[in-house]
A and B are shown apart, each in its own frame.
Chain A
Amino acid sequence: MVAEPKLAELIDFGKRAVKVAVGRGAEEAEAFLSIVSGTSIDIERGQIVRSIKRMDQGLGVRTVYGKAVGFSYINTLTIKNIEEAAARAFRAARASRPDKNWLKFPKPKRYGETRGTYDKRIVGVSSDELVETAAVMLGAVEAYDKRVLAVDGGVGASVFHTVVVNSHGVEAFDMGTAVGCSMETIARDGADVTPACFELNAERVYDLDPEAVGTEAARQAVSSLKAKKIESGVFPVIFTQAAFRSLIYYTLINAVKADYVQRERSALKDKIGEKVASDLVTVYDDGLLEGGLLTSKFDGEGVPCQKTLVIDKGVLKNFLYDNYTANKSGAESTGNASRTGVAPYASTPVLEASNFTFKRGNRTPEELVAEVEEGLLVYGVQGAHSSNAESGEFSVVATPVWKIEGGNVAYAVQGVMLTGVVFDVLRNVSALGSNVRKLGQLVAPWIRVENVRAVGRK
């Protein structure tokens, strides 16, 4: 798919940037380089319509002068551009303001082993092969039921290389691969139109099941037909991974970031050692998880990634730190500095969770459902980004969602609102499934929560 970049050359580019910045008078400097290339196939309205190739590379330089931080990036890697970027980053630091809490960039440390994060078969995959994968997924949707439309979907493969160099001797290099396929469906039967249903499969090694993705996306859509309105009430709710991820992304995950804690934006401030969740809840942030979607040797500042215990049997144990917040609190960075976005080199590090992992339970999904007399099975929530990050209060629309009656999934429900506080949700977890899967930052099984308030439309 792409020629392997010359590792030595990338590290030399980084060293050059650091050297130029320090030569200009910067007290510290750091260079981050990323090269990302990918191929993807798009499906729209029932057919493969587009094939895409992207290649993007660049370098970002951070410099420190008088405890003030400046940053500059470029995406054309020539010696001249790199030197100019270093000089501009230094000028930006001089234009900025000192930060009394700035201590220093990280020192070199030994990196842990990562497994299942790079697969040569993905590097070598052709666009024709990805078209074939997309066709298999599409075929599975069409074969399931004529009333289903494959609204949107695709298959993608990418390869990325990352380098961090700093003036304290950090010289880090990592590479990874990713592959995934996804399918969004609706079903239409006369005037009855379902909400969008969604399924995906993302991996770091070339091991996809496009047929299962297509079939499941189609199954959800057909099962969403003939949705009924329900009355408001307080129910046990089973959240799938997709629904639970949306729910905690803006609430719990932010609340355990040291940045939010230090700035009094977290309801978990001062709660280390306290019970914040049900005994059943144990959570790790595991940057080294085998085959984890966010697994890497080091974070966006060259700090080793690690497995951090966040909640142990309901008790809050640790917050997540990057270099800056760790220095501010006198703690150690947990390796959670992330360079985000489509062009990682263009961003300064942001404190982010890695593989946010809920320990599995022992129930099959069927058992989770069978134990519910009257409740809801929620496959997605919409509007989670309007949650109150500080308080954990949320008010979201569950969709698609099914009513459980007498231990069986009875019928689809027209979007109900779920309202509450995420910390009450954690305390009310009554069972976890054994069906762990990876979905973005979340690694978790289905999770059942008691006493969730649902506002119906009847």
Chain B
Amino acid sequence: MKDTLTKSVDYGRSLGAEYVEVRAQHLFKTLLTTKDGRVEGAKEGIEGGAGVRVLANGAWGFVSLGKLDSKLLTEAAGEAVRLAKAASLRVKKPVKLADVKAVEDRVVATPRKSPQDVSMEEKIDNALAMDKTIFGYDSRIRSCTISYLDVTGTNYFVNSDGACIEQDKLYVWSRILASAREASIYASAREEIGSTSGYEVFDTETPEKVGTMVAKRVVEQLKAKTPKGGSFPAVIGPNVVGVFMHEAMGHLAEADLTLSGSVLYDKLGKQIASDVVTVYDDGTVEGAFGSFKYDDEGVRTQKTALIENGTLTGLMHNRETACKLNMDPTGNARAEDFRFEPIIRMRNTYLAAGDNTFEELIEDIDFGYYLKSFRGGQANLDGTFQVGIQEAYEIVKGQLGDTVRSASISGNTLETLRKVDGVGRDFELWSGRCGKGQIAFICDGGPHIRVGEVIIGGGA
């Protein structure tokens, strides 16, 4: 494989490219979906292919091929150079790359239980056990959809700087959706599980544990009231803190989006959050869904500080943005697979724990909301964010009160970060997937925090 890729790289260089990289993959996937105890399909797939990316005359050319063939790969390098040169005719500021040390390495996955060694029958049994737990919890539960995916295989990376990396891929993922109905009240809840360790994730995230959590969450909403709209103090749980750190804060600190004019554009080195806020994007968390050793530009992953004690100290980079801002690459360049070029993506993004107890966070709130788990979130470059909440409670006179359904929070990221006035001592990471034209597997999380004021919407 190394020889095939090297030949393609050398050919691209011989045509005058400043930089050439070839990524090849062999992947094996198992997928299954169950709907209300019915197995919709037990699925397996094998895919292989390569992506050739070149930088010529300051512009990028990229060719992806759903094949691994030495001759075609070499031709692809030629085509990529031609594409880059066509694009370069309009380039005003040529793209340049930050220097990195060229690595040669072989990264071997060492799962306790490789998903390849677990039978399709066992994977189906596991999903059906979760389904059974959920339906068994309450007769008002009407539907349950469980998706399962595992990916195993190998990535090969060779570039014209001399890097040569062979890195095993291993992902195990499941998503559980449940809905319940009572008279005209409809409720739904979801949960995701993800790991880069191995199938052993289900030894701790057992069907009974996860199923009960999802079922409880959906049933609770049936008796819930809708929230009052307006500004309120809130205590935000790790699951919602995570999505806030990812959507509202993280995307703005992806250097490509920062350079595109996100509200962090001119904020490096400045205080942007209250001083209890410290945020990391960390690719080194063992077994976490967003962890890996090398990114898709061959750069070693790291724990990157984004905010330290309220000051914006870092951004997430690829080699291109690092060069542009005269900073170091952070190992955030990721491609969904060989079909895509690497772009700046998050890994495991979280707010660092502080020292408050949960009781301390809620005790001073006369009326507010406890936002425990999210349904989805989105943010805009100007810092406007929205996070849908699936599980929430009123806080009344320092105590948890009634359950609230279909709430959502919104506001401006920077205004909200400045209003964080308490950070818990607990910590949780949650697995998820992020879409930015491509899918990336990520984690986000943090401790419980208290925010002086957020806008609560929702409720008809």
Contact = CB atoms under 8 A, between A and B. Distances in A.
Size band of the A side of the interface? Answer: 35 or more
Instruction: Name the residue in A232, A386, A390 with the highest tally of chain B Cβ atoms < 10 Å from its Cβ.
Output: A386
Contacts of B82: 127
Interface stretch (A13-21, A186-194, A440-448): A186-194
Contact of B41 (A44, A71, A135): A71
B261 A263 contact: no
A49 B378 contact: no
Interface in B240-289: 256, 259-261, 263, 265
A50 B380 contact: no
Given A70-B42, A396-B386, A131 B86 contact: yes
A3 interface: no
B377 A151 contact: no
Interface stretch (B89-97, B166-174, B201-209, B326-334): B89-97
Size band of the B side of the interface? Answer: 35 or more
A211 interface: no
A88 B42 contact: no
Interface stretch (A91-99, A235-243, A364-372): A91-99
B3 interface: no
Contacts of A421: 460
Contacts of B46: 73-75, 81, 85
A193 B186 CA distance: 39
A348 B35 CA distance: 14
Nearest to A421: B460
Contacts of A50: 59-62, 84, 87, 341
Nearest to B185: A391
B396 to A, nearest CB: 21
A348 B142 contact: no
Interface in A43-98: 44-58, 60, 62, 68-76, 81, 85, 88-89, 91-93, 95-97
Contact of B142 (A62, A96, A264, A417): A264
B231 to A, nearest CB: 8
B124 A56 contact: no
B418 interface: no
A424 interface: yes
Contacts, number: 279
A93 B91 contact: no
Instruction: Name the residue in B42, B47, B124, B375 with the highest tally of chain A Cβ atoms < 10 Å from its Cβ.
Output: B42
Contacts of B63: 52-54
A265 interface: yes
A170 interface: no
B402 to A, nearest CB: 18
A76 B265 CA distance: 44
A101 interface: yes
A186 B90 contact: no
B451 interface: no
A102 to B, nearest CB: 9
Given A45-B259, A382-B378, A397-B386, A264 B188 contact: no
Given A151-B381, A193-B263, A75 B66 contact: yes
Contacts of A318: none
Contact of B44 (A48, A72, A414): A72
B62 A96 contact: no
A305 interface: no
Given A52-B341, A131-B87, A395-B457, A99 B382 contact: no
Nearest to A71: B43
Interface string B69-87: 0000000000110111011
B316 interface: no
B377 A383 contact: yes
A455 B455 contact: yes
Nearest to A129: B86
A27 to B, nearest CB: 15
A294 interface: no
Nearest to B95: A49
Contacts of A138: 90
B380 A48 contact: no
Contact of A386 (B60, B66, B67, B408): B408
Nearest to A88: B44
Given A151-B381, A393-B406, 7 more contacts: A56-B66, A74-B47, A186-B260, A263-B142, A263-B143, A343-B339, A387-B388
23 contacts: A47-B90, A51-B86, A53-B62, A53-B79, A55-B66, A62-B41, A68-B39, A71-B44, A85-B46, A95-B120, A96-B41, A96-B120, A149-B261, A188-B261, A265-B142, A265-B186, A346-B47, A382-B384, A382-B386, A393-B406, A395-B388, A395-B407, A419-B459
Query: Which 6 residue pairs spanning A and B have beta carbons closest together?
Result: A386-B388, A383-B386, A390-B186, A386-B376, A417-B457, A51-B83
Interface of B: 32, 35-36, 38-49, 59-68, 79-80, 82-84, 86-87, 89-93, 95, 119-121, 124, 128, 142-143, 179, 181, 184-188, 229-230, 256, 259-261, 263, 265, 339, 341, 374-382, 384-389, 406-408, 410-411, 455, 457-460
